[in-house]
A and B are shown apart, each in its own frame.
Chain A
Amino acid sequence: MTRTWAGRIGFYTLIAVLLAFFTIPLLWLAAAPFTSDPTYEVRMPDFTFENFQTIIEHPYALGSLVNSLILAIGTALLVVVLSALAAYALSRVRIPGRDALLYALLLLSSIITGTAAMVPLFQLAIELGLIDSHTGLILILTGGLLPAAIFMIKDFMDATPKSYEESARVFGASPLQIVRHVVTPVVRPGLATIAVWTIANVWGNFLMPFLLLSDVEKQPAAVIMYTLYTEGGQANLRVLSTFGLLYSVPVVLMYLFVSKKYGFRFHGGIKR
């Protein structure tokens, strides 16, 4: 009896400590945006919305969120379309050297990280005139995310019975009709997963836009956020806290949406 009581007390103490460890750093983000004159201290907010007003007036804040959106959506579209096409072909057709190709892709995507490739990517962007270009950044981000995306979506395709396509084929559907009428709708949950995964990745990515976009007008929220708290003088905590919250909310909403719709099942490669 005493042992179970001791066990319980131990359990709840440990949970409480862990909960505190994971909660305390987040409190500031919840409180400061609604506090009139926020400091680094976490205080009970007075629930003002004035800080949001300052964001609207800030020259780069809203624009940077739009930039983040452009980068995320653009990359997601490209990644979803290209990875789906490639994964479909790789899943259904015995292309010579397919297994070696898949192995190479998996290897490449895990070893060539932003850190390892930042020098040549910077070089490449200069040579191709892709510095300060959203298109350039989207292409570079897409190249980095594609191998893992092809892997994930190929899993979905492999799990889809071939008889759907064969059945359509016997009725006389052309390959493109089969892809449009049958394959795409059937793997739609897989495509949605890839889209969400890509958006989350690009939305949070700091290094690549930091390296490749020097024009403040084009920088996404990640870079503006960093600029806001490092650039000289006293950091404007009203702007910082509110901007941080606005920048975070879409990620949280997306997480809630995914976990509601599909259950937050474990995907080995959901984040790199």
Chain B
Amino acid sequence: MLSIKNLNKTYHTEEGDEVAALSDINLDVADKEFVCFIGPSGCGKTTLLRITAGLEKPDSGTLTVNNVPITGPGPDRGMVFQEYSLFPWRTVLKNVTFSLELKKIPKREREKISREFLELVGLSKFADSYPHELSGGMKQRVAIARALVNDPDLLLMDEPFGAVDAQTRNRLQHELLNIWEKKKKTVLFITHSVDEAVFLADTVVVFTARPGRIKEVISIDLPRPRERTSFEANAFREHLLATLGAEIQAAID
């Protein structure tokens, strides 16, 4: 579905320094696959996601989605940002209808569709609230609904639950899996949490410290719904932690 070949990316800062962010990335993601990216801070995960979204251009290498090269942002890819990204001047409902407005879908219809997606993320009651009236977790759920309403094939999520408390986070993970099962999207999901990766992913991609390379691709072939504390899950966790630990140590050195 998504195919990344020989991708390199170096940033040029305003002071003239060069920051090598990604080096020689090769990755194939299957249709409907749930992929988690994990790696030390600053290794280029966000960069890779942004390039996939079309917000950034790689220096070299090719990216294709369903065999179509990526040249810029497109409706086939939706993104949920790490920061809160709702339009504060729009109500929750209007945030969700945004992409449908651009597609010139009649008001009635787009609101009907949007309400379905709000239902999906459990926020029907807040349709007419403004973002500043929502909690952090609720904001990210709206952001997910807003991305999904555009019906993308590929959903890109950059630590969407990074800023919410542990309990909410568990709930949101459940909800996300529910949605993913219902809507059958391909998901690229960045996380810092090994637990999260093991709970969510079909495949976990571990990155090396900067410049980011793919260190290991691990299939989490556990049946769903998963038990967070099962013996197999623990085994994956320990493995991931060991791999990551070495990289984080490398990043600090």
Q: Do A and B bind each other?
A: no
